[in-house]
């Protein structure tokens, strides 16, 4: 049995794990990184990147196939979709990123181990390669657990990966299903539902909550639901799924709404009801690392577990399940290991939903700000009044700012519309810098751009927007 000694062992090579390993190596630490699968984690291999690639492909196909570009004088007489080629293109993107991460690990002189890791005690782990080759033991001074999460399974809809699919399965479908049912109308359900509706599937989304995208401002959800409807998707909310059975090469889902039972027939069903932590089977109990009742690893503000020299970051320690949150936590944990005084702060974690139109938010909502005791004002600018939005034919949505009515400090922002995922960065920077609406008003924004909506929303919050009528 091979044996290795290192200062820091990082278990998990996703956006949290590899970022932590690199940051520690930059600080001069001896680091070993172990991952049983491909580097990049869920984000790169089965989440963020492949999903956004399919979203882009679906948008391009939809624009041509439905004649959305006809007003521009662009007409396509024959539009065909080759799903197998789309998946191949998507996989090529992830492979290039994987290669890039491998190069970064090598360039930073990080010891790369491949295999399933399990803690033997609070200072030792064993690495068992999947190919049955020699098991290695690693002695460490510090350890970072970054093992991520997996799709949650419903007892009434166990995954068979043929008819009942995870999001991982859906991303690799080489044939577009004629009928696709989706259980769960959260972020994953909406994003992939939009993809397959635009590819031509008859999509039915079944959501237990009263609205699609639970927890998101209903004003932001409205244009997303409307676009899904235009793509032919059926949305059912306040639904309880009772089970499913295979029939005629497909699946029949039994559900209930308002006390009435109904069924949905589909070729397959995607279950997207959340995620569960990959905390089982990695030896936490041997090391003395505690979890909560759902299996998420308990940590303090420095991301230390109940064993002070063992840290946990990313999905395995709880939501929100965002790659950028994991990368942020990676830096916090690395700095703590290096002896710096640091702590994780979650007031400014932006979220993005790559729906159509996109939704993004950061900071406080109106309701959250009022609960914290602020007197609140808002400023809202619709993309219908944006010159740039008109020129690209994407005028649905708006930008809204939440400000302190007394100091005019910006407390939160919500963007719904074209490139909302990019626009939210300006809001996050402004809030992080403690900017006021007047500060934003004084910054010259290029014209014509979508980012002008942020400027106009700031001016609207002060009652002096130029391109909309200010409320009296």
DSSP structural state of residue 469 = P
Any idea which residue has 């172990």 for tokens?
Answer: 34
List the structure tokens of 138. Answer: 């690693």
Distance CA 113, CA 35 (A): 7
Distance CA 75, CA 54 (A): 23
Any idea which residue has 């589909």 for tokens?
Answer: 266
Q: Is 112 helix (H, G, I), strand (E, B) or coil?
A: strand
List the structure tokens of 60. Answer: 């391009």
* For helices 17-26 and 83-107, angle between their N-to-C axes, nearest 10 degrees: 20
DSSP structural state of residue 146 = -
Q: Please confirm, yes or no, whether 447 is among the known catalytic residues.
A: yes
Distance CA 212, CA 406 (A): 34
CA dihedral 329, 334, 338, 344 (to 10 degrees): 0
Could you tell me if 413 and 402 are in contact, meaning their C-beta atoms sit under 8 angstroms apart? yes
Question: Taking the CA atoms of the chain, what radius of gyration do you get in angstroms?
Answer: 24
Distance CA 43, CA 48 (A): 5
Residues 6+ apart with CB under 8 A from 155: none
Q: How far is CA 197 from CA 89, 179, 181, 357, in A?
A: 20, 9, 11, 14
Count how many Cα atoms sit within 13 Å of the Cα of residue 208 in the half-sphere of its side chain: 10
List the structure tokens of 357. Answer: 């139109």
Q: Which of 62, 324, 447, 467 is catalytic?
A: 447
Q: Give me the active site residues, please.
A: 447
């Amino acid at each position: 049995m091979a044996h290795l000694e290192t200062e820091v062992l990082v278990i998990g090579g996703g956006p949290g794990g590899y970022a932590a390993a690199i940051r520690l190596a930059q600080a001069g630490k001896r680091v070993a990184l172990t991952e049983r699968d491909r580097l990049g984690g869920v984000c790169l291999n089965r989440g963020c990147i492949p999903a956004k690639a399919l979203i882009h492909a679906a948008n391009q196909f939809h624009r041509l196939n439905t004649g959305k570009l006809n007003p521009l004088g662009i007409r396509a007489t024959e539009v065909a979709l080759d799903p197998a080629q789309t998946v191949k293109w998507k996989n090529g993107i992830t492979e290039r990123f994987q290669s890039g991460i491998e190069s970064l690990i090598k360039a930073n002189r990080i010891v790369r181990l491949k295999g399933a890791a399990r803690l033997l005690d609070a200072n030792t782990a064993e690495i068992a390669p999947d190919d049955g080759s020699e098991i290695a033991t690693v002695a460490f001074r510090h350890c970072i657990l970054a093992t991520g999460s997996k799709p949650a399974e419903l007892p009434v809809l166990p995954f068979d990966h043929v008819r009942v699919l995870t999001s991982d399965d859906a991303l690799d479908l080489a044939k577009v299903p004629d009928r696709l049912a989706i259980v769960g109308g959260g972020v994953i359900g909406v994003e992939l539902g939009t993809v397959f509706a635009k590819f031509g599937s008859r999509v039915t989304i079944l959501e237990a909550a009263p609205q699609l995208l639970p927890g998101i401002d209903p004003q932001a959800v409205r244009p997303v639901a409307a676009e899904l409807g235009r793509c032919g998707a059926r949305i059912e909310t306040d639904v309880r799924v009772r089970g499913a059975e295979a029939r005629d090469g497909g699946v029949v889902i039994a559900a209930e709404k308002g006390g009435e039972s109904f069924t949905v027939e589909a070729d397959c069903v995607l279950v997207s009801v959340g995620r569960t932590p990959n905390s089982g089977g990695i030896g936490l109990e041997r090391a003395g690392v505690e979890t909560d009742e759902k299996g998420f690893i308990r940590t303090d503000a420095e991301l230390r577990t109940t064993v002070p020299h063992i840290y946990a970051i990313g999905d395995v320690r709880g939501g929100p399940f965002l790659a950028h949150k994991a990368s942020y936590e990676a830096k916090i944990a690395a700095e703590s290991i290096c002896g710096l005084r640091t702590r994780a702060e979650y007031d400014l974690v932006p979220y993005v939903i790559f729906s159509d139109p996109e939704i993004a938010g950061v900071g406080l909502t109106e309701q959250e700000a009022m609960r914290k005791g602020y007197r609140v004002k808002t400023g809202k600018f619709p993309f219908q009044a944006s010159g740039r939005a008109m020129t690209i034919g994407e005028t649905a949505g708006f930008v809204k700012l939440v400000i302190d009515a007394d100091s005019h400090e910006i407390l939160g922002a919500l963007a719904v519309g074209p490139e909302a995922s990019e626009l939210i960065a300006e809001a996050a920077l402004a809030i992080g810098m403690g900017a006021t609406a007047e500060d934003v008003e004084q910054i010259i924004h290029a014209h014509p751009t979508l980012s002008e909506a942020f400027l106009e929303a700031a001016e609207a919050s002060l009652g002096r927007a130029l391109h909309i009528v200010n409320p009296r």
